[in-house]
Amino acid sequence: MLMMQSKKYWRNNMDAIQAATMENKFLNELQASEDARVQAISRSKRDRIKRRALKLVWITFQREGIHKYPAAATDPKLATGDEYDVSFLAEPHRHIFHFKIAIEVFHDDRDIEFIQFKCWVENLFNKGTLQLDFKSCEMLSDDLFEQISFKYPERHIEIDVSEDGENGSTTTYSI
């Protein structure tokens, strides 16, 4: 009798172990299925984000220039006579102008080849199409935008111009 009870005990325990194993297997499969579903949703979401992303390529270059700000000598907001006086800007002075131009591209395989773009933009100055003159950083941005948007219409463009890489402006031209 004892042996029969022992077999019955082991059979019941084995049934319980098998049931627990099957339940664990089912839960693992369910978790793997849920992970795959989440990953598919996540992949779909990532793909949608990539399709909608604003993609820009950018170039940088520098240009030496002499300019002046004639109004600095007479404008009372500038020629203050105190530690904030910038009337010296009315005299010709040298800067290294730093430019960074970012332009929207519509696909990810060299819609605009940035080495060619950089050469073209630098030639705007080299060939005299654009000049530094007495212009502010913001004015230089606007001049660049006019030329760039004519050649590459309907694109988001961002232009940074600084004097000596120290102080400058950022202008964003959104469509």
One-letter amino acid for residue 167 of the chain: N
Q: What is the mean pLDDT of residues 115-139?
A: 94
Confidence band (pLDDT; 50, 70, 90) for 21?
A: confident
**Residue 140 CB neighbours (<10 A):** 25
Topology of domain 55-67+95-173, CATH = Tetrahydropterin Synthase; Chain A (3.30.479)
Q: Backbone dihedral region of 123: left (phi > 0), alpha (psi from -120 to 50 degrees) or beta?
A: alpha
- pLDDT cut 70: percent of the chain above it: 82
pLDDT tens digits, one per residue of 141-159: 999 999 999 999 999 999 9
- pLDDT cut 90: percent of the chain above it: 64
Continuous segment of H or E residues that includes residue 157 = strand 157-163
**Residue 83 CB neighbours (<10 A):** 5
Strands of the 93-105 sheet, one edge to the other: 55-67, 93-105, 157-163, 167-173
Q: What residue ranges do the domains of the chain occupy? A: 1-53, 55-67+95-173
What pLDDT, on the 0 to 100 scale, is given for residue 6? 58
Whole-number mean pLDDT of the chain?
Answer: 88
One-letter amino acid for residue 95 of the chain: H
Q: What is the pTM of this model?
A: 0.75
What pLDDT, on the 0 to 100 scale, is given for residue 76? 97
SS3 label, residue 168: strand
Instruction: Give the closest residue to 168 by CA, choosing from 137, 143, 140.
Output: 137
pLDDT tens digits, one per residue of 34-82: 767 667 668 788 888 888 999 999 999 999 988 899 999 999 999 999 9
Indicate if the pLDDT at residue 171 is higher than 80.
yes
SS3 label, residue 83: coil
Write down how long the chain is.
Answer: 175
